[in-house]
Amino acid sequence: MSEDLDHSVVKELFITSSSSGVKIALLEDKKLVEVHEERSSDHFGVGDIYLGVTKKLNSGMNAAFVNIGAEKDAFLHYLDLGNHFNTMKNFVNDVINTNKKSIANYPYEPELPKVGKIGEVLASGQKLLLQIAKEPISTKGATVTTEISLAGRYLVLVPFMDKIFISQKITRGSEKRRLRKLVQSIKPKKFGIIVRTVANGKEMEEIQADLDQLMDRWRVIVDKLSMAVAPAKIASELDMTTSLIRDMINDSFESIYVDDPLLFQELKQYLHSVSPEYTHILKLYKNPKPLFEAMNITKQIKASFGKNVTIKNGVYLVIEHTEAMHVIDVNSGNRTKAGKDQEENARTVNMEAAVEIARQLRLRDMGGIISIDFIDMRKPANRSALYQKMVQLMKEDKAKHTILPVNKFGIIQITRQRVRQEKVIHVAETCPSCRGTGKVQPAILIVKEMEEMIEYIINNKIASKFYIKVHPIIYAYLTRKLYSHRLRWSIKYKRWIKLVPAESFQLLEYRFFNRMDEQIMFWTSPTIDE
Q: How far apart, in whole angstroms, are the C-alpha atoms of residue 442 and residue 526? A: 10
Tell me the per-residue pLDDT of 386-414, one tens digit each, with 9 for 90 and over: 999 999 999 888 888 999 999 888 899 99
State the chain's mean pLDDT as an integer.
Answer: 84
Q: Give the whole-number percent of the chain exceeding pLDDT 70.
A: 88
Tell me the per-residue pLDDT of 315-337, one tens digit each, with 9 for 90 and over: 889 999 887 889 999 988 766 55
Q: How far apart, in whole angstroms, are the C-alpha atoms of residue 293 and residue 279? A: 25
Q: CB-hemisphere CA count at 13 Å for 396?
A: 25
Q: How far apart, in whole angstroms, are the C-alpha atoms of residue 246 and residue 495? A: 48
- State yes or no: pLDDT of 338 exceeds 60: no
Residue 190 · residue 160 · CB < 8 Å: yes
Tell me the per-residue pLDDT of 467-481, one tens digit each, with 9 for 90 and over: 999 888 889 989 988
Closest to 226 measured CA to CA, from 101, 355, 41, 369: 101
Tell me the per-residue pLDDT of 31-79, one tens digit each, with 9 for 90 and over: 898 888 876 555 677 888 999 999 999 989 999 999 998 888 999 999 9
Residue 194 · residue 187 · CB < 8 Å: no
Q: Give the whole-number percent of the chain exceeding pLDDT 90.
A: 32
Mean pLDDT of 152-157: 90
Instruction: Name beta bridge partners: 27.
Output: 12, 32
The pLDDT value given to residue 398? 82
Q: How confident is the model at residue 433 (pLDDT cuts 50, 70, 90)?
A: low
Contacts of 372 (CB under 8 A, 6+ apart): 328, 330, 357, 411, 412, 413, 414
What's 312's DSSP letter? S
pTM: 0.64
Sheet of 150-151, strand order: 150-151, 155-159, 191-195, 164-166
Q: How far apart, in whole angstroms, are the C-alpha atoms of residue 367 and residue 143? A: 15
The pLDDT value given to residue 524? 43
Secondary structure string (H, E, C) spanning 365-429: CCCEEEEEECCCCCCHHHHHHHHHHHHHHHHHCCCCEEECCCCCCCEEEEEECCCCCCCCCCCCC
The pLDDT value given to residue 5? 42
The pLDDT value given to residue 521? 60
Q: How confident is the model at residue 529 (pLDDT cuts 50, 70, 90)?
A: very low
Q: How confident is the model at residue 218 (pLDDT cuts 50, 70, 90)?
A: very high
Residue 470 · residue 447 · CB < 8 Å: no
